[in-house]
């Protein structure tokens, strides 16, 4: 019974923790501008993150060491430095977006300008990381994030024409559509980047060490990933579907978080709106915790510093210092007056650019029997790993030209 509860908790946390500000914003933008024609990207992205998350969890459980420690040892300092540079900068950008997301969500709950909430949000993130146990932190935000299921409920409450919605999934953008093919592909890359954000993999593998996973725990972790992430992907599609049903016919192109919530008001009124705002806060706060920790993990693991929440902060001072500095830099960027939603859109596109540097080393390490022993990648995993690496490479190469051609999707 205890085992079943642990599995259920893991799956529910994975679902609730899957979405972050990037998923909330980009899915809603895409739904309001392209309908459901880009759902296939979410499906591809979710399969990709499942392949690499379970691979990095397996690396951690088999070797007892975190991703960056092994990458540096296996691939040498130069390759590891390229990986570190890209991952750390993307983490910083993602962290900025998540803090902005918390502030925007709190504005929806209080009417208070997000600028005032940003330092408060960053301080709260630091306090939780400093004081709260890893498992409590992960489970509480993950479970509260489940309130975003409201988007799936709202799709039914809006009584859409299911045939029309279904047909859109199979459609490509119409040549008569107001959106250009380049903009369509720009948002395809952004959606892919939002689904495969690198911090998720670092957090997953370092979390495995924090929770002292052993090879016997792999079945549960695989279940969490293979059930939890796809159901999280369903929520992403529900967000896009809500925007498609309510906003697309009115010609409203989403560029603010409140617009993501308007279809919920239409479908479920004030109660639905309150539930979804709670979900926004939980999802962005949970993601901010994960990204902040990932910033500390990547740098500490690369330089061989003591790291981890299982150590007292005084015993992992540099790990905690990196997180504090990252939070201060994130707030500093937001205080310049940049729009958090624009930061989010840019961060998911830049994530796509850095993806090969994150995922190639994991694939190499997962194939090395010296670290993996019997748990080395099988043929099927390698096949999927290589296919996704090719997709990641294409998305990475296309991201910057598409960003320039489309004026960042405008």
The interface with another protein within residues 207-246 (CB under 8 A) comprises 246
Report d(CA 22, CA 17) in Å as an integer. 13
String of contacts with another protein for each residue 302-331, x by CB under 8 A: ------------------------------
Asked whether 284 and 98 are in contact (CB, 8 A), the reply is yes
Calculated CA dihedral for residues 78, 83, 84, 87, nearest 10 degrees: 160
Question: CB-based contacts of 298: which residues, under 8 Å, 6+ apart?
Answer: 68, 84, 87, 88, 91, 202
Of 78 and 250, the one with the shorter C-beta distance to another protein is 250
Q: Is 175 in the site for another protein (CB under 8 A)?
A: no
> Considering the rule CB under 8 A, would residue 407 count as an interface residue with another protein?
yes
Q: Tell me the closest approach of the beta carbon of residue 175 to another protein, in angstroms.
A: 14
- Using the rule CB under 8 A, give the single segment among 105-113, 308-316, 327-335, 375-383 that binds another protein: 105-113
The 3-class secondary structure across the chain, one letter per residue, is: CHHHHHHHHHHHHHHHCCCCHHHHHHHHHHHHHHCCCCHHHHHHHHHHHHHHHHHHHHHHHHHCCCHHHHHHHHHHHHHHHHHHHHHHHHHHHHHHHHHHHHHHHHHHHHCCCHHHHHHHHHHHHHHHHHHCCHHHHHHHHHHHHHHHHHHHHHHHHCCCCHHHHHHHHHCCCCCCCCCCHHHHHHHHHHHHHHHCCHHHHHHHHHHHHHCCCCHHHHHHHHHHHHHHHHHHHHHHHHHHHHHHHHCHHHCCCCCCHHHHHHHHHHHHHHHHHHHHHHHHHHHHHHHHHHHHHHHHHHHHHHHCCCCCCCCCHHHHHHHHHHHHHHHHHHHHHHHCCCCHHHHHHHHHHHHHHHHHHHHHHHHHHHCCHHHHHHHCCCHHHHHHHHHHHHHHHHHHHHHHHHHHHHCCCC
DSSP 315: G
> Which residue, 240 or 257, has its beta carbon nearer to another protein?
257
Number of residues that bind another protein (CB under 8 A): 28
CA 239 to chain centre: 15
C-alpha neighbours within 13 Å on the C-beta side of residue 113: 6
Q: Please say which residue, 110 or 171, places its beta carbon nearer to another protein.
A: 110
- Tell me which of 46, 137, 189, 273 binds another protein, using CB under 8 A: 273
By CB under 8 A, is residue 269 in contact with another protein? Answer: yes
- Residue number, 375 or 400, with CB nearest to another protein: 400
CB of 189 to another protein, least distance (A): 17
| Closer by beta carbon to another protein, 45 or else 409 | 409
The reply on whether position 281 binds another protein by CB under 8 A is: no
Q: Which of 2, 131, 250, 312 binds another protein (CB under 8 A)?
A: 250
Stretch that binds another protein, among 147-155, 262-270, 291-299, 326-334 (CB under 8 A): 262-270
Q: Which of 40, 258, 303, 305 binds another protein (CB under 8 A)?
A: 258
Query: Binder to another protein among 41, 277, 334, 343 (CB under 8 A)?
Result: 277
Among residues 107, 292, 358, 377, the one that binds another protein under rule CB under 8 A: 107
Nearer to another protein among residue 219 and residue 404 (C-beta): 404
Which residue's CB is nearer to another protein, number 69 or number 259?
Answer: 259
Contacting residue, 24, 41, 55, 108, with another protein by CB under 8 A: 108
178 binds another protein (CB under 8 A): yes
Q: Does 182 bind another protein (CB under 8 A)?
A: no
Q: In 3-state terms, what secondary structure has residue 284?
A: helix
- 251 makes contact with another protein (CB under 8 A): yes
Provide, rounded to whole angstroms, the least separation between the CB of residue 26 and another protein: 17
Residue 261 interacts with another protein (CB under 8 A)? yes
Residue 405 binds to another protein (criterion: CB under 8 A): yes
Q: Is 79 in the site for another protein (CB under 8 A)?
A: no
Q: 76 and 223 in contact (C-beta within 8 Å)? A: no
Determine if 402 is a binding residue for another protein (CB under 8 A). no
Smallest separation, CB 260 to another protein (Å): 11
Residue 140 binds another protein (CB under 8 A): no
Q: Where does this chain bind another protein (CB under 8 A)?
A: 107-111, 178, 246, 250-253, 255-256, 258-259, 261-262, 265-266, 269-270, 273-274, 277, 404-405, 407, 410
């Amino acid at each position: 019974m205890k085992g079943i509860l642990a599995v259920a908790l893991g799956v529910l946390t994975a679902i609730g923790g899957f979405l972050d500000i990037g998923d909330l914003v980009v899915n809603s933008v895409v739904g309001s501008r392209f309908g459901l024609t880009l759902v296939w990207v979410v499906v591809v992205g979710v399969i990709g993150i499942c392949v690499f998350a379970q691979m990095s969890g397996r690396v951690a459980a088999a070797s007892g060491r975190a991703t960056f420690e092994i990458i540096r040892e296996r691939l040498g300092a130069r390759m590891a430095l390229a990986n570190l540079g890209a991952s750390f900068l993307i983490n910083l950008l993602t962290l900025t977006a998540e803090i902005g997301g918390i502030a925007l969500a709190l504005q929806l709950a209080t009417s208070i300008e997000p600028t005032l909430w940003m330092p408060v949000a960053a301080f709260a993130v630091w306090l939780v990381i400093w004081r709260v146990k890893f498992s409590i932190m992960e489970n509480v935000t993950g479970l509260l994030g489940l309130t975003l299921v409201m988007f799936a409920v709202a799709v039914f409450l809006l009584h859409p024409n299911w045939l029309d919605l279904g047909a859109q999934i199979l459609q490509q953008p119409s040549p008569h559509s107001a959106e250009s093919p380049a903009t369509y592909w720009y948002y395809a890359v952004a959606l892919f980047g939002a689904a495969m954000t690198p911090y998720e993999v670092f957090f997953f593998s370092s979390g495995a060490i924090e929770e002292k996973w052993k090879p016997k725990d792999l079945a549960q972790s695989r279940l969490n990933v293979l059930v939890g992430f796809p159901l999280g992907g369903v929520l992403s599609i529900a967000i896009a579907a809500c925007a498609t049903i309510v906003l697309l016919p009115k010609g409203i192109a989403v560029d603010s978080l409140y617009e993501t919530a308007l279809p919920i008001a239409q479908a479920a009124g004030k109660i639905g709106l309150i539930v979804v705002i709670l979900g926004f806060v939980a999802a962005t706060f949970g993601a901010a915790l994960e990204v902040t920790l990932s910033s500390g993990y990547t740098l500490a693991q690369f330089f061989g510093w003591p790291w981890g929440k299982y150590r007292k902060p005084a015993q992992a001072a540099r790990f905690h210092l990196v997180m504090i500095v990252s939070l201060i830099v994130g707030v500093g960027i937001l205080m310049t007056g940049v729009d958090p939603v624009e930061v989010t859109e840019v961060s998911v596109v830049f994530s796509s650019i850095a993806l090969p540097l994150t995922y190639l080393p994991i694939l190499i390490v997962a194939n090395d029997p010296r670290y993996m022993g019997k748990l080395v990648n099988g043929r099927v995993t390698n096949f999927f790993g290589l296919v996704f690496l090719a997709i990641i490479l294409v998305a990475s190469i296309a991201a910057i030209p598409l960003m320039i051609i489309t004026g960042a999707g405008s």
